[in-house]
């Protein structure tokens, strides 16, 4: 089985510039945008040229490199003062995914005490963020696949694959590893209105890897779960509050409710950079509101009555009580809550034996 992330990355640093795969054009057109400024990078994040919490964090890291290059060229003596505006612009480009702020803050910490031209050191850090994400995804793929049990089908929502990360994917990382291990025979993918990330991106990735995939309308998911054909629902996350509440693409919450009702287990897969311990629960996670045109039109053509008002949140919050397991690169959390999340975040990154918190496992710390 080939891995689409080996040959098709969401972002790459080439010839002293950032190149982003324009995901708005997939699956029909594969085209990269070449970015040379922080302003272009922020606009690409805002306009969803790149999307997915880990991917926009990595992109912002490279955006800081571009900002530092420009500010240092303006005036080497005050570049660290002037770059503050660029850091704020990148941080504000999308509000819900905490990975964005996390990556910018990490890059800012590296700038402290730098002397001379900062580009080489900052580029090394951005590349490290990128490489660490790919390693984390592959680790999560292994940990999540080990939980699947017997062979069966799974359902996923939105796109949490190679295109949403540095490579390989979070939810799709588990699915890739599970399929390779013979534990998954079919993937059901919600279309994920209104941007159709499931139809355009997830289905495309799985077809590239020759993993059997069936597309369904978001509203059909509960009926599918009722038929007993799905063993797990597996999704990613854009922000996880301290108590385990999960912000993910709109439609995740009602999918979690349907899964609980039909006794289908619900797995969230996300790196620890997605965990925001500063927020006690999901009620304070900022939810991005998108433009009305995303619901009023499709492919540039109107699909709704003229004059109708629109409510278009990009994300919703799934309560921790509906999450059976949270998979991170540091370990697995069963039935997540505030205490278990705190213990997870205290574990060192990529320690050899991953923890299994709140349940039984080969390295149970519950």
Residue 155 lies in a domain: yes
Query: Does residue 204 sit in the same domain as residue 258?
Result: yes
Query: Does residue 94 sit in the same domain as residue 168?
Result: no
**238 noted as active-site residue:** yes
pLDDT tens across 328-345, in order? 999 999 999 999 999 999
Query: Does residue 43 sit in the same domain as residue 121?
Result: yes
At 347 the pLDDT is 84
At 97 the pLDDT is 86
Whether a cis peptide bond, with omega within 30° of 0, leads into 194 is: yes
**Mean pLDDT, rounded, of the chain:** 93
Active-site hit among 86, 238, 245, 324: 238
The span from the CA of 334 to the CA of 170, in Å, is 17
pLDDT at 351 over 60: no
Residue 77 lies in a domain: yes
At 361 the pLDDT is 38
The span from the CA of 318 to the CA of 352, in Å, is 31
Determine the average pLDDT of the residues in 100-125. Answer: 96
At 352 the pLDDT is 43
Nearest CA among 79, 50, 75 for reference residue 65 = 79
Residue position matching structure tokens 């854009």: 238
How sure is the predictor about 300, in pLDDT bands with cuts at 50, 70 and 90?
Answer: confident
Residue position matching structure tokens 């955006």: 63
Residue 41 lies in a domain: yes
Query: Does residue 170 sit in the same domain as residue 126?
Result: no
**Who wins on pLDDT, 351 or 14?**
14
Output the six-digit token pair for 60: 């912002």
Residue 272 lies in a domain: yes
At 355 the pLDDT is 65
Give the residues across from 187 on adjacent strands.
154, 213
Determine the average pLDDT of the residues in 132-155. Answer: 97
How sure is the predictor about 350, in pLDDT bands with cuts at 50, 70 and 90?
Answer: very low
Query: Does residue 107 sit in the same domain as residue 185?
Result: no
The span from the CA of 49 to the CA of 163, in Å, is 11
- Assign 82 to helix, strand or coil: helix
Residue 180 lies in a domain: yes
Helix or strand (DSSP H, E) at 211: none
Percent of the chain with pLDDT over 70: 93
Q: Which of these three, 110, 134, 158, is where a domain ends?
A: 134
Q: Which of these three, 94, 114, 134, is where a domain ends?
A: 134
Q: Which long-range contacts (CB under 8 A, 24 or more apart) does 219-225 make?
A: 221/155, 221/157, 221/188, 221/190, 221/255, 221/258, 222/254, 222/258, 222/261, 222/262, 224/155, 224/188, 225/155, 225/258, 225/259, 225/261, 225/262, 225/264
234: burial class by Cβ within 10 Å (0-12, 13-18, 19+)? buried
pLDDT at 126 over 90: yes
At 5 the pLDDT is 45
Residue 365 lies in a domain: no
At 353 the pLDDT is 53
Q: What is the pTM of this model?
A: 0.92
DSSP per residue, 330-343: TEEEES--HHHHHH
Query: Does residue 258 sit in the same domain as residue 171?
Result: yes
Residue 221 lies in a domain: yes
Q: Which domain holds residue 94?
A: 4-134
At 273 the pLDDT is 94
Per the structure, how many domains does the chain have?
Answer: 2
pLDDT at 2 over 80: no
The alpha-helical segments, DSSP class H, found in 160-202 are 171-180, 197
Query: Does residue 156 sit in the same domain as residue 34?
Result: no
At 297 the pLDDT is 94
Q: What is the CATH number of the domain that holds 11?
A: 1.20.120.420
Q: What is the CATH number of the domain that holds 315?
A: 3.40.50.10470
Query: Does residue 14 sit in the same domain as residue 114?
Result: yes
pLDDT tens across 38-75, in order? 999 999 999 999 999 999 999 999 999 999 999 999 99
The span from the CA of 128 to the CA of 122, in Å, is 10
Residue 232 lies in a domain: yes
Q: Are 58 and 130 in contact (CB under 8 A)?
A: yes
Query: Does residue 124 sit in the same domain as residue 150?
Result: no
Q: What angle do CA 32, 239, 154 make, to 5 degrees?
A: 80
pLDDT at 272 over 60: yes
Give the residues across from 103 on adjacent strands.
none
Query: Does residue 186 sit in the same domain as residue 286?
Result: yes
Q: Are 315 and 248 in contact (CB under 8 A)?
A: yes
Q: Which of these three, 119, 134, 149, is where a domain ends?
A: 134
Query: Does residue 17 sit in the same domain as residue 100?
Result: yes
Query: Does residue 206 sit in the same domain as residue 265?
Result: yes
Whether a cis peptide bond, with omega within 30° of 0, leads into 202 is: no
């Amino acid at each position: 089985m080939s891995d689409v992330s080996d040959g098709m990355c969401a972002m790459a640093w080439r010839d002293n510039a950032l190149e982003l795969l324009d995901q708005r054009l997939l699956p029909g057109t594969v085209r990269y945008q070449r970015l040379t400024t922080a302003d272009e990078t922020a606009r690409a994040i805002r306009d969803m040229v790149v999307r997915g919490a880990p991917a926009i964090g990595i992109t912002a890291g490279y955006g800081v490199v571009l900002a530092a290059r420009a500010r240092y060229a303006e005036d080497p003596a005050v570049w660290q003062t002037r770059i503050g505006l660029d850091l704020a612009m990148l941080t504000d480009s999308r509000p819900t995914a905490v990975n964005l702020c996390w990556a910018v803050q990490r890059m800012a910490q590296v700038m402290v005490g730098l002397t001379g031209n900062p580009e080489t050191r900052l580029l090394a850090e951005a590349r490290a963020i990128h490489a660490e994400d790919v390693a984390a995804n592959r680790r999560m793929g292994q940990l999540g696949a080990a939980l699947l049990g017997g062979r069966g089908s799974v359902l996923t929502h939105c796109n949490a694959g190679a295109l949403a990360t540095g490579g390989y994917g979070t939810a799709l990382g588990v699915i890739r590893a599970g399929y390779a291990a013979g534990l998954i025979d079919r993937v059901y993918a919600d279309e994920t209105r209104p941007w159709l990330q499931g139809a355009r991106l997830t289905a495309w990735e799985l077809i590239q890897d020759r993993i059997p995939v069936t597309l369904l309308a978001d509203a059909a998911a509960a009926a599918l779960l009722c038929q007993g054909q799905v063993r797990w629902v597996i999704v990613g996350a854009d922000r996880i509050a301290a108590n385990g509440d999960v912000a993910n693409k709109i439609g995740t919450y009602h999918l979690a409710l349907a899964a609980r009702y039909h006794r289908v287990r619900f797995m969230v897969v996300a790196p620890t950079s997605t965990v925001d311990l500063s927020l006690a629960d999901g009620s304070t996670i900022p939810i991005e509101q998108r433009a009305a045109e995303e619901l009023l039109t499709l492919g540039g053509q109107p699909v709704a009555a003229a004059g109708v008002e629109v409510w278009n949140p990009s994300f919703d919050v799934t309560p921790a009580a509906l999450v059976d397991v949270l998979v991170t690169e540091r370990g697995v959390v069963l039935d997540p809550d505030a205490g278990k999340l705190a213990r997870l975040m205290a574990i060192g990154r990529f320690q050899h034996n991953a923890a299994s918190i709140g349940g039984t496992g080969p390295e149970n710390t519950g």
